[in-house]
Structure 1
């Protein structure tokens, strides 16, 4: 759980508090007004979903998955960290850092190197 900064908190304290966990968020309560850009956003490309039917490796191995994540660099579909094999995380590198949730009704991206929503 992320502690809530006080109204009188100074900017360096807020930045230290949010480093790595809320990278790229637009605010923390009413205290943080600036956005910290994630340099990995430059790796996002227009992609074609390589295996729309499921996790690429789980389909080959015959293993189950829980949720799916789409690599926004190459279109690889991998299973989430709640899945037994965690293929999306295994695929993620500095060159393939950001995934998009493929779950219906979800519209978020995750940066694996920063462990943060972007």
Structure 2
């Protein structure tokens, strides 16, 4: 469930090699992603935003400012822009089989 395949209007690959894949993400208020997966990743916010991240029955609301950097443990989720501004982010997806430092227990980004 590659985000660039299930939500190509929101995600695009800006760089890929054998170690990382870098995605650019942009949406508008009210936009939603379809369910997708991310491997362990680093997320860099380029805009302030409010989002709801959902996986199965779990849901969290996330509010981040522009210029924040967060760890995103490998996970499957969908998201919705519940704020009044665009969401603009960069995801640096790590390739490899290493375990997630947080045990993939978190939903959404963590500090």
**TM-score bracket for the superposition, by shorter chain length:** under 0.3
- Higher percent of residues as helix: 1
TM-score scaled by length of structure 1: 0.27
Larger radius of gyration: 1
Structure with more relative contact order (C-alpha pairs < 8 Å, separation 6 or more): 2
Higher normalized strand content (fraction of residues)? 2
